[in-house]
Amino acid sequence: METKNTSPWFLLTGLIIGLAIGLIIALLILPVEQQVALPAELSPAAKADYRLMIARAYQANADLLRAQSRLALLADPDPVGALTIQAQALLAEGGADVDARALADLAEQLQKATP
């Protein structure tokens, strides 16, 4: 009975070649692109959506400090004015009254809280 003396080097070389090909594909051919943006870097339309989400969240939990901190991330020079203008524009465009009311309520509460 004759036994074949084969070594497992083919497994190791296959693993190394596979890792090398995987790294080349992951790092050079199809690298991951970061698509994270800070709220201040958003487009005007996305900022409007973000303000609306903040107003809806405030309407749900009435946490004014959290709403203020979220609005501060947008880096608007006048957050109350931005909310008011957005509420008026939403009504002028025929948007939902509920959304315009949420924006206006948040603007009113911010105005009351600001000395």
Contact 87, 107 (CB under 8 A): yes
Band the pLDDT of 4: cuts 50, 70, 90: low
pLDDT tens, position by position, 48-88 = 999 999 999 999 999 999 999 999 999 999 999 999 999 99
Q: Is the pLDDT of residue 7 over 80?
A: no
Which one is predicted more confidently, 114 or 27?
A: 27
Whole-angstrom Cα distance, residue 58 to residue 16? 54
Question: Would you state the pLDDT for residue 5?
Answer: 62
User: Angle 79-92/64-72 helices, nearest 10 degrees?
Assistant: 90
- Average pLDDT (100-104) is 96
How far is the C-alpha of 86 from the C-alpha of 48, rounded, in Å? Answer: 7
